[in-house]
Copies of this chain bind each other. A is one copy, B any other.
Amino acid sequence: MRVQLIGFGNIGQGLARVLLEKEKYLEKRHGLKLRVVSISDISGTVVDEEGVDLKRALEVVEREKKIIGYPGEEMSGLEAIKTVDAEVVIEVTPSNIKTGEPGLSHMLAAMKRGKHVVTSNKGPLALEFKKLKETAEKKGVAFRFEASVGGAMPLVNLATEMLSGDEIYAIEGILNGTTNYILSRMTKEESPLELVLREAQELGIAETDPSYDIDGVDTASKLVILANAIMGVDASYRDVKIQGIRKITPEAIKLAKEDGYVIKLVGEVKNSHLEVAPRLVPVNHPLNVDGVLNVALLRADIAGDITIVGKGAGARETNSAILSDVISIWKNGACL
């Protein structure tokens, strides 16, 4: 199966590493021989119909900070999608919650050319889920995005495929590892947000501009994807009521603690209402997970409550989800 990789930052490089490591396993276990026929980043595209040398590509990007500079071509990702033959496009460019670009154009272009799409890119899905879903259906291609929510947690596929007899009537989750790390440390140390945030930035857990995380933007994007994909709600990012964690004080956390609660940034969808806000969670509640972990609680009408906990981010962990989506396409393709 030929795949194109669009985006060669953390996630894309992580995928290259995982593919090198898992080459034999994929062939032995699933009969799947993956060939990455092109890799694009903002600088250009490397194309090799026999399969790009992933080890060499990783060396080049390590040295040059871009993929071109090694037998490359001045070709954009969009151009590569339009001209290079492949069955699957893996879209892992940086997420943009304002325009969804360039991911949105990449995905639509791939679908229109009959290519399956696998992505970790939240922005386009949080803005244009319905359009993407409908385009994929019209073109008869797969559209899979497990990696866009909860990193390594197989949340979307769990709900849609493993709980296929159930209706999910509500979802609650801690979907952002950075804020969860900050709140966990504030709880343990009774320190103010600014202090913990600064240390998280030094550790590389928080970004230099932390607003994406601590103002709830990231959580809201993921919540929109879950609501659309799992509950069939037709919602966009603009529909989410959002409150971040900037106003949480050590005093509030201390008071909560004395009553047996912790404060968590929770995203919830219920009755088509989407909300992100700090919430009091009982200490022994399944949603009370520590550190950078993510958690989601699915309320299912037959199964009852199902909680899943896992690593919400990480260049390696996220690729578990991408790989599983690719394998699923391969397996379904075998019976098309």
Which residue numbers of A lie inside 8 Å of B, CB to CB? 18, 22, 25-26, 29-30, 146, 152-154, 157-158, 161-167, 284, 286, 289-290, 300, 302-311, 314, 316-317, 319-321, 323-324, 326-328, 332, 335-336
Inter-subunit contact A323/B302 (CB<8 Å): yes
- Quote the shortest CB–CB distance from A324 to chain B (angstroms): 5
Inter-subunit contact A154/B165 (CB<8 Å): no
Collect the chain B residues with CB atoms within 8 Å of residue A161's CB.
157, 161-162, 328
Inter-subunit contact A162/B165 (CB<8 Å): no
Task: Give Cα A225 to B26, complex, Å.
Answer: 24
Nearest neighbor of A152 in chain B, beta-carbon distance: B303
Partner of A22, one of B26, B30, B165, B300: B165
Collect the chain B residues with CB atoms within 8 Å of residue A304's CB.
152, 310-311, 314, 316-317, 320
Nearest neighbor of A151 in chain B, beta-carbon distance: B303
- Quote the shortest CB–CB distance from A232 to chain B (angstroms): 10
Inter-subunit contact A26/B165 (CB<8 Å): yes
Task: Give Cα A33 to B180, complex, Å.
Answer: 44
Task: Give Cα A311 to B304, complex, Å.
Answer: 7
Partner of A324, one of B163, B311, B324, B327: B163
Partner of A162, one of B157, B286, B306: B157
Collect the chain B residues with CB atoms within 8 Å of residue A157's CB.
161-162
Given contacts A26-B165, A323-B165, contact A306 B303 (CB under 8 A): no
Collect the chain B residues with CB atoms within 8 Å of residue A308's CB.
306-309
Collect the chain B residues with CB atoms within 8 Å of residue A310's CB.
303-307
Nearest neighbor of A164 in chain B, beta-carbon distance: B327
Partner of A164, one of B153, B316, B324, B332: B324
